[in-house]
Structures are given as structure tokens and as C-alpha cells.
Amino acid sequence: MTITVTGVADVNAILAKIAPREGLNLMRATVHDIAIQAAKSASQKAPDDPATTKGDLKSSIKAKRERGSRQRVGSNVVVAPSAFYWKFLELGDGPDGVEHAFMLRTIQELRPNIDRIYCEAFVKKLEARLARERKRIG
């Protein structure tokens, strides 16, 4: 048996036929893994609070899984309400007047490589799932 996969739509179609529930779980984990990578990248680019020199903004950037449906999965990169001022830093409306744009730079960094990142995350999750099943079966 030979299966040729050429894109994300093909992977989604194959998983929908073979194991729809497992496919949805894999897609959910893959999308969340990408959101985690985006959150890490954004927190590395985020500036420290100059008054306290603490990384409170950096530590408040997290990936949060959305409640999806049977056809849609999603995850967001969110900033905790205690660091509400991130919007001012992002747009340059803060006290220093400097536009840091750490979220925008993260998106621009991920966008050209999203297919590679998506495939790497999917393969990693699929291999882990197969290894878990092999261990469970014996």
C-alpha cells in the first residue's frame, strides 16, 4: 500500500477517513504546539519593564487552547491581564514612545516557515502517538 501526501489538506483528508477522532486530536495538538512556539518567540522578543527590570511581560505570554468544533481547532497566544500594557508597547503608544512590535515580528518570522513548522510539529506528535500505542499494545 502506497500513500502519497502532498499537503496539509491531504493529511487532513487521510486522517478524516482512517481515524477521525484521532486525526482531530493530532491536529489539535499540532496547532497548539505551533502556538506554543509563537508564544516562546514573542516572549523572547518582548521588552523588560524598565522600572522594575522584571520579566513580568515575558512570563505572561502564553499559548491558550481554544474550544473548537468537529471541523475547527485553534489555539491563541494570549497575554495575561496583569500585563495589559503590552498593546501600548506593541503600537508605540507607551511612555517611551518606542514601537517594540514583538508580536508583529513573531508573526513575520513564523509566516514564511509555517509549512515547515507545521510539518515538523505534526510528525513529532504523530511519532509520539504511535510510540504510545506501540507501548500500550506491547
Query: What is the total count of domains within the chain?
Result: 1
Domain that holds residue 24: 8-137
What would the 3-class secondary structure string for 25-47 be? HHHHHHHHHHHHHHHHHHHHHCC
**pLDDT computed for residue 63 by the predictor:** 92
- 1 in a structural domain: no
Position 20 scores a pLDDT of: 75
pLDDT score for 2: 45
> pTM for the full model?
0.75
Determine the Cα–Cα distance for residues 103 and 120; give it in Å rounded to an integer: 22
- Note whether residue 3 is domain-resident: no
Kindly give the confidence (pLDDT) of every residue in the chain, 138 residues in length, as a single tens digit, with 9 standing for 90 and above: 344 556 667 767 766 776 777 778 888 888 898 899 999 999 888 887 666 666 678 888 999 998 877 778 888 888 888 788 788 887 877 777 777 888 888 888 888 988 888 888 888 888 888 788 788 877
Does any domain span residue 103? yes
Quote the strand ranges of the chain, DSSP E. Answer: 61-65, 75-79
In a domain, 34, yes or no: yes
